[in-house]
């Protein structure tokens, strides 16, 4: 090997998964952090797992909660419908003249 051109090689580099599993390998990086490994990947475990590194699920649930808070109750809807019907009736009588 030519000296001075190769990166430092770590024969005992550690791969650390978010689930806590660690693996040892040879690499130019001393430590490699991963989100999935064979011990926790849904394909191998058979269980669903949501990797939400960008907080997309959290944002979505927040958005839907905000929407559901503004949804009218049935009493509000009935009141709205009554006022609408009244307005319609008033319009009808004014056009019949
Ligand atoms: Zn893992």
- CATH code at 20? 4.10.80.400
Two tokens at 78?
A: 């009935």
Residue with token string 């009244």: 86
Percent of the chain with pLDDT over 70: 92
pLDDT single digits (tens) 26-69: 999 999 999 999 998 888 888 877 767 778 888 888 888 887 77
How far does residue 19's CA lie from ligand 1's centre (Å)? 4
Task: For residues 86 and 70, state if they share a domain.
Answer: yes
Q: Which whole number is the average pLDDT over 89-97?
A: 75
* Claim to verify: residue 40 and residue 61 sit in the same structural domain: no
When the pLDDT of each residue in the chain is averaged and rounded to a whole number, the result is 86
DSSP 2-27: -TTSSPPPEEEEEEEETTS-EEEEEE
Please give the distance, rounded to the nearest whole angstrom, from the Cα atom of residue 51 to the centre of ligand 1: 11
Q: How many domains does the chain have?
A: 2
Asked if residue 40 and residue 4 are part of one domain, the reply reads yes
Q: Which residues does residue 13 pair with via DSSP β-bridges, in sequence order?
A: 25
Structural domain range at position 85 = 54-97
CA 43 to ligand 1 centroid distance, Å: 12
């Amino acid at each position: 090997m030519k000296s001075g051109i190769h990166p430092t090689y770590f024969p005992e580099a550690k791969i650390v998964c978010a689930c806590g599993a660690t693996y040892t390998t040879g690499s130019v990086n001393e430590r490699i952090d991963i989100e999935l490994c064979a011990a926790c990947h849904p394909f191998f475990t058979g269980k669903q797992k949501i990797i939400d590194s960008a907080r997309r699920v959290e944002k979505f649930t927040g958005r839907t909660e905000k929407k559901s808070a503004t949804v009218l109750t049935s009493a509000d809807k009935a009141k709205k419908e009554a006022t609408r019907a009244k307005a319609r009736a008033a319009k009808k009588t004014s056009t019949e003249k």
